[in-house]
Amino acid sequence: MSEARMKELRSDVDELNELLKLAKRKRAQDLISLEVRKLETELIKIKETIAKNAQAESTPAPSTAPAQSKRYQIKLNGYGWDQSDKFIKIFVTLKDVQSLPKDQVFCKLTEKSMELHVKDLDNKDYLLVINKLLDSINVEESYWKQKTDMVVIFLAKSHPNVKWSHMTELEKKTEDQRNNKMKPPTPDMDKSDPQESIMSLMKNMYETGDDDMKRMISKAWYEGQHKKKDTLDL
């Protein structure tokens, strides 16, 4: 029964992978990739069950044998990146990763996302996920390499020679919002009272500035008031 189920699952995975290559929309790609991962997980569980049953039948483990340690998945957040005209290069530091077989270090890519999987490195699994890339990538021309204590992923740009300002859409949106918040509004030059425009600008700078900016504006306002008073006394 298990063998028949495994054969059926392999056929389903192969067919879904073919559909993934044909899928154009990101949502469709994500749904197909999710289903593939589910089927692959079921395959692994069946293989493990068969292996355990075979081991139990041939050489039963002694009662004093230590329990097999559980493997944990660690989600990675830190990475470095650089770019050339053709590639976005992502650098992920992992000690001794070069010692793993190539099939234990792999990436799952779509046009706007990437996942790095590192399996069984010092009895731990590692995962790096980057979603909503700033621009689309060419999955077929992308690749990765294991180097000493590092994995380097080469994401082929769909639009060569276009420079990326950020890695993801979210990072760019966050910085744009921060810059817009800190940028003082342009004074309305059509106002009849120039003094009102200046006061409005200084008020905005005071409200959005840091402590040093607030102290500087307060000092300038204080000194200006005293100069105005001295002029009136004369």
Mean pLDDT within 56-80: 73
Label residue 160 by pLDDT band (50, 70, 90).
very high
Residue with tokens 């504006």: 217
Q: What single string gives the DSSP state of each residue in 176-187?
A: HHHHHHHSPPPP
How far is the C-alpha of 20 from the C-alpha of 28, rounded, in Å?
8
Q: For 100-150, write each residue's pLDDT tens digit.
A: 999 999 999 999 999 999 999 999 999 999 999 999 999 999 999 999 999
pLDDT value of residue 167: 94
Looking at the structure, give the CATH architecture of the domain made up of residues 72-167. Sandwich (2.60)
pLDDT value of residue 5: 75
pLDDT value of residue 148: 95
Average pLDDT, the chain: 82
How far is the C-alpha of 174 from the C-alpha of 86, rounded, in Å?
26
Label residue 185 by pLDDT band (50, 70, 90).
low
pLDDT value of residue 61: 55
Q: Which of 30-44, 46-60, 151-165 has the lowest mean pLDDT?
A: 46-60
Query: Shortest CA distance to 133 belongs to which of 109, 103, 101?
Result: 109
Label residue 96 by pLDDT band (50, 70, 90).
very high
Instruction: Count other Cβ atoms within 10 Å, centred on residue 188.
Output: 10
Question: By the 8 A CB rule, do 35 and 43 touch?
Answer: no
How far is the C-alpha of 77 from the C-alpha of 149, rounded, in Å?
17
Q: Which of 1-5, 23-27, 132-136 has the lowest mean pLDDT?
A: 1-5
Q: For 195-230, write each residue's pLDDT tens digit.
A: 666 667 777 776 776 777 777 777 777 776 666 555
Alpha-carbon radius of gyration of the chain: 30
Label residue 83 by pLDDT band (50, 70, 90).
very high
Mean pLDDT within 150-155: 96
56 pLDDT above the threshold of 90: no
**What is the value of pTM for the model shown?**
0.51
How far is the C-alpha of 129 from the C-alpha of 109, rounded, in Å?
10
pLDDT value of residue 108: 95
How far is the C-alpha of 42 from the C-alpha of 107, rounded, in Å?
20
Dihedral of CA atoms 137, 116, 22, 7 in degrees, nearest 10, equals 170
Label residue 11 by pLDDT band (50, 70, 90).
confident
pLDDT value of residue 135: 95
157 pLDDT above the threshold of 70: yes
